[in-house]
Amino acid sequence: MYISIAEKYYTAKGIKKGKAEGKAEVARNMLNDGLPVERVVQYTNLPREDVERLLN
């Protein structure tokens, strides 16, 4: 089966987006459970700014 370069690109892009959304969901849950921002950043490897945005 022939897979085009565009299909490979968009598949990889979709997987990356899905992983980021999953990390954000985990981070939101951690924050809702009262974990400090520093701990959420440490465990999710998300940038501090992204985690702080989830607080709002």
Among all chains, which residue has been given the structure tokens 């897979």? 3
Note the Cα 27 to chain centre separation in Å.
8
Taking only the tens place, the pLDDT of each residue in 40-50 is 999 999 999 99
| CA angle centred on 9, ends 48 and 53, rounded to 5° | 20
User: Is-contact 31 55, C-beta < 8 A?
Assistant: yes
Positive or negative: CA dihedral 23, 26, 32, 38: negative
pLDDT digits (tens, 9 = 90+) for 16-37: 999 989 999 999 999 999 999 9
- What pTM was computed for the model? 0.77
